[in-house]
Amino acid sequence: MSLTFNIRHLEQHELSLKGELPVSELELDQLDELVHADHPLRYDLEVQKLDNGLLVHGTLALALKCECARCLKPFPHDILLENWACHLPLEGEEKVQIVNDLVDLTPYVREDIVLAFPQHPLCEPEREGLQSPQKDLASGKLEKKELPSSAWAELNKLKL
């Protein structure tokens, strides 16, 4: 069940679309390992017919379950697009596809929802990640006990 409407209904008046779209219709499950959508997308939209296109505007809301990119703790994140708008041309190369008088808004909604995903989800804005080695403030050098052990550390001992 996708987010569709009959274009013939726009001939007399505007359309109001309100409801929920199952998250499976948006195909969001494999986009990000740290962001998961389990709840349906809620929408409240108005559709108007213009001279050479359609104007869709309204509100989109989706609740996400995220994992912090630094500590991996789960936390909720809500996407709320209050003033979402989309212009769909009826003519030209990029005209909207109409099948049996139905226009599918799902690809347009999906695109803007994906763009609103958190790129680097953090449970707290100042969440610190792994602890870095401590510096001695007086000398500006790393303390010996905090140096990471690696092959590169041996190269640092060379006097060239």
- Write out pLDDT tens, residues 71-128: 888 999 999 999 999 999 988 888 888 889 899 999 999 999 999 988 888 888 775 5
Number of domains in the chain: 1
**Would 83 be classed as within a structural domain?**
yes
pTM above 0.75, yes or no: no
Residue 19: domain span? 4-115
Helix (H) or strand (E) holding 151: helix 151-156
Nearest to 39 by CA among 3, 66, 67, 5: 66
User: How far apart, in whole angstroms, are the C-alpha atoms of residue 35 and residue 67?
Assistant: 7
Q: What is the pLDDT of residue 134?
A: 57
**Would 132 be classed as within a structural domain?**
no
**Would 152 be classed as within a structural domain?**
no
**Mean pLDDT, range 129-151, rounded to an integer:** 56
User: How far apart, in whole angstroms, are the C-alpha atoms of residue 84 and residue 69?
Assistant: 28
82-97 b/e with 16+ CB inside 10 Å = b? eebebebeeeeeeebe
**Would 35 be classed as within a structural domain?**
yes
Per the prediction, the chain carries an average pLDDT of 83
